[in-house]
Amino acid sequence: MIRPVRAARFRPGDAVRVPNVEKKGHVRTPAYVKGKHGYVTAVLGEFPDPESLAYGGAGLPEKPLYRVRFRQADLWQGYGGPPDDTLHVDIYEHWLEPASEEG
């Protein structure tokens, strides 16, 4: 079920990048997508921030959650599968930034 979003920064088709930053504690974004470029395929809604919830916080304000498509060849060095293989990852807005299509 997709939940409503008051103000999503990105829309399906937008090129995005996951910043390659380290953050201590509970992080919901997988390390293998940090520094990588992908494309938003869906806006899933707004949800409590799991990085706040993990430490007893309220998870507020709720944050938009996106489904982002990455090429497997961009994620895994030496990937031997077909070049059009993709992986979809659900990522919160605070872990995304705009990216150029060349990126």
What are the tens digits of pLDDT across the range 4-58? 677 899 999 999 999 998 887 778 899 999 999 999 999 999 999 988 899 999 9
SS3 32: helix
Over residues 75-84, the mean pLDDT reads 94
Task: Tell me the whole-structure pTM to 2 decimals.
Answer: 0.89
CATH topology for 17-98?
Answer: SH3 type barrels. (2.30.30)
At residue 98 the predicted structure's pLDDT band, cuts being 50, 70 and 90, is very high
What is the pLDDT at residue 90?
97
- Sorted by where each begins, the domain ranges of the chain are 17-98
